Structure 1
Amino acid sequence: MASTALLDPPREPQVPEARGLTTLGLPAGLWAGLLRTARPRQWVKNVLVVAAPAAAGELFTRHAAVQLALVFTLFTAAASAVYLINDARDAEADRAHPVKRSRPVAAGQVPVAVAYAVGGLLAVLAPSAAAVLCTPMAAVLLAAYVGMQLAYCVSLKHVLVVDLVVVATGFLMRAMIGGLALGIPLSRWFLITTGFGALFMVSAKRYSEAVQMAGKEGATRALLTEYTTGYLRFVWQLAAGVAVLAYCLWAMEEGGVAKGSLLPWRQLSMVPFILGVLRYAVFADRGTAGEPEDVVLKDKALAVTGLVWVAMYGLAVVGW
């Protein structure tokens, strides 16, 4: 009996299916790993680039919108460069960590050399593009941010107190660059409020980590075991006090009711600002002040307080 195989029609040769390839011929998994390493969830922090223009009431022009979208993109690229280089540098240590070992570089999804190359490219391109498309001062600030954050990755994160200041300064730089890109003078009270407000949130986060790690092995940060909870509590309380005082001085410095306004919105905005700080301090005191965006989104009272402050501040800016 003839074999059934002889009765089957001849088959076309099979060509390996090109799975997971992008238009650039690189594995899709590599691009996904690079994106994960760039921390998209952290990009929301870069919305702070609108802070200075918003404070000056310079948000409602086409030029401002284009420039702010540009500096947001460039700051995101600069921050992503730092994350890529940091993960490449810490790949070996991360592989021994129960959580960080799943990071794309540590897990081998993104080769260390690729992470270094892409991170280095973004670190150079972001300030260079800012020099061409924005203002020289914006480019200088972006270059300073990249340099400071890389120094933090290499050594400054191991220096007590300096590590807190560097992280808080990163937030301050985000708040400054929008004003520098648009040539807006930065108020000293704006800088003090923003700087100490950032220090308040950073130190509150560190305090929460220290409280949650108390009595446990394997702190997630190198310096966490060297800080005492009492010291971190002192820092966030001091920072909160200075931020509130600076904001109140700035609001009162503006004087009475602005021409055309129904109420002194700028002065009234002190109320939700102080309530917001006090409400956030509740979570800091409990040791549950993790990521600021998580705290705000999970607490309705804090979210509403923030919206009321934004509304009052907006009315003050437009002069209603």
Structure 2
Amino acid sequence: MDFGKVTVLEAIDFSFPVEPLANQQVLARQKTSTYLKPQAYLGCPTWTNKSWLGTYYPVGLPAKDFLRYYSQQFNTIELNTTHYRIPDEATVSKWCAAVRPDFKFCPKWPQQISHEQELQGVESATTAFCTSLRAFKENLGMSFLQLPPSFGPDKLAVLENFLTQIPREIPLAVEVRHPDWFTGEQAFADLAALLEACAVSTVITDVAGRRDVLHLRLTTNTTFVRFNGYRHDAIDYARADAWLKQLVIWLEQGLQTVYFFVHYEDILHSPKVIRYMLDKLATTTAIPVSQEGSKPISQPIQGSLFN
């Protein structure tokens, strides 16, 4: 993830902000009405990872089988390919056939809707994308709408008009990046109120160069986190520990679903952090966590001198 990228980490304050008081009200309200057994979905932003051949994928695995093996390692994916092209039903069906039944796709809304037209005059594209999302059926996780840095609080009414057109059965989270959302308190409070009213979740982004987007505000009983690592183990694992602590608090208060996506420039590092977090969640929460996955797999022996 290039957003918030820096070259020197040591000067960055990675501590969490004070958690918004409104979170307790959101979770308490949701817990009394819809509380079920919590679930956690941790994954990566892509499955086409050739660098995993020989570690997380078998040596020589054809690209057409990458998704099948990815879904054996993780239970979700941040599906960024939908940002560039709306997949047809046949493509979605092919993807779903390749994964296990409990796997969740989290598609990113098309850039035509979010960035090029900034939610205006997008009725046809929105209808087409919602049709595509429905094709995922039980494998649909949380779709997410990333608004561009140019989309500020002055366009809140545009966002409101757009959200009222989205069918309630489409799970949706919204990510904002314009700095004015985080200047003062009122702009983001107004945004959060709108998202709550529309039953839409927030995207919480944890990057080094934009600590303001780490707002920790929940608007539903689902959290959607995009975590960017920097190949600095002491810092990255301390940040992972901070997230684990926060997630445990939220789960105790009624959080139902965790979506947590780990980004690294070198994708080889993502599975290690995910496995670390899964092991910690297994010992600190009641979330069912598989002991398999996010681990290097046994590779076939090609032969030896003693055969």
TM-score, structure 2 length as denominator?
A: 0.26
- Write 1 or 2 for the structure with the bigger share of strand: 2
- Name the one with the larger helix percent: 1
Q: Which has the higher contact order (CA 8 A, sep 6+)?
A: 2
Radius of gyration: which is bigger?
1
